[in-house]
């Protein structure tokens, strides 16, 4: 799944190339891409026609575009969703699902999704922590790169949980934007094991891992995000290259960049965790 840096790369592209433009038509080429819209393709087209895109915004891994009537277009990228800005005369992509055309005819916004787990939905907005966000995003916490992110409040929230550290990091209702890749990278930088009980962590420990998450995601963003295949791309179809800079994620049996010990992989919630057994000691009760 794309995480905060990959989604932010897309948000910036939409802000640069689609915001300020008025939608003239919406073409839905696959019904699954609008399955979250109660009225399907007809409702999506009716809610977007004539609307101007006001701002491209994000909270954690959730991406949306504010519309000039106070509603929003929420983009679920899923595992393979892409928002591409393409010339109108460019041939359709094989997995093109939705097309938005604009009144200026300069280019169109295309939603491409190979696995059809994502989609577009026109939704209402509501107040959340002092700002208007799409209703499905109201329960999502702020992310570490948000200027309004409260680090000390997040530290306290984690220490009140009764769970393991990595599970807490992936809980988007507390702190959003951190997924499997950047959780492993942040834990390695902070020298903390994923199974550490949050209730027994010190405030400096929690602060350290959250600052590490902010640091690694900022670095990834500067390199266009992490792209393991051609599915994670910006609005021009270009891949990021932070995968080359990952310290532990996907590096099983390779030497730890810090101490040289072979990186290990362990099962975690139908996924994998990657960690260094020397730098990240397993807690006694794990």
Distances (CA, A) of 222 to 8, 215, 218: 11, 11, 6
Residue tagged 């891409």 (tokens): 33
CA angle 183, 210, 126 (to 5 degrees): 90
Cα separation of 1 and 45, whole Å? 27
Give the pair of three-digit tokens for residue 58: 């994000």
CB of 102 closer than 8 Å to CB of 24: yes
Alpha-carbon distance of 268 to 65, in angstroms, equals 33
- Contact indicator for 11, 109 with CB cutoff of 8 Å: no
Is 95 a known ligand-binding residue? yes
Residue with tokens 């922590």: 129
Residues catalogued as catalytic: 2-3, 61, 271
Report helix, strand or coil for 214. helix
Determine whether the annotation assigns residue 161 to a binding site. Answer: yes
CB 126 within 8 A of CB 39: no
Counting Cα atoms < 13 Å in the Cβ hemisphere of 224 gives 16
CB 65 within 8 A of CB 51: no
Question: Which phi and psi (to 5°) does residue 109 adopt?
Answer: -100, 125
DSSP codes of every residue in 58-74: EETTEEEEEETTS-EEE
Which segments are annotated as binding site? Answer: 95, 115, 161
Q: Which residues are annotated as a binding site for DNA?
A: 95, 115, 161
């Amino acid at each position: 799944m794309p995480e905060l840096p990959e989604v932010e790369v897309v948000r910036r592209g939409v802000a640069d190339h689609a915001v300020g433009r008025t939608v003239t038509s919406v073409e839905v080429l696959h019904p699954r891409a609008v399955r979250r819209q109660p009225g399907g393709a007809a409702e999506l087209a009716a809610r977007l026609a004539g609307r101007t895109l006001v701002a491209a915004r994000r909270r954690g891994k959730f991406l949306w575009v504010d519309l000039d009537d106070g509603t929003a277009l929420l983009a679920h990228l899923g595992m393979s969703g892409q928002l591409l800005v393409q010339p109108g005369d460019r041939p359709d992509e094989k997995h093109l699902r939705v097309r938005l055309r604009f009144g200026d005819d300069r280019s169109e916004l295309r939603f491409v999704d190979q696995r059809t787990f994502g989609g577009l939905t026109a939704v209402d907005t509501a107040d959340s922590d002092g700002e208007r966000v799409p209703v499905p995003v109201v329960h999502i916490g702020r992310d570490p790169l948000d200027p309004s992110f409260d680090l000390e409040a997040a530290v306290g929230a984690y220490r009140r949980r009764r769970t393991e550290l990595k599970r807490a990091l992936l809980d988007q209702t507390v702190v959003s934007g951190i997924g499997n890749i950047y959780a492993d990278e942040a834990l390695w930088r902070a020298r903390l094991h994923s199974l550490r009980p949050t209730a027994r962590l010190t405030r400096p420990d929690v602060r350290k891992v959250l600052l590490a998450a902010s640091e690694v995601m900022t670095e990834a963003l500067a390199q266009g995000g992490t792209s393991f295949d051609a599915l994670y791309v910006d609005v021009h179809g270009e891949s990021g290259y932070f995968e080359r800079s990952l310290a532990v994620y996907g590096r099983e049996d390779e030497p730890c960049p810090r101490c040289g010990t072979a990186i290990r992989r362990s099962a975690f919630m139908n996924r994998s965790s990657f960690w260094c057994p020397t730098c990240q000691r397993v807690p006694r009760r794990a």
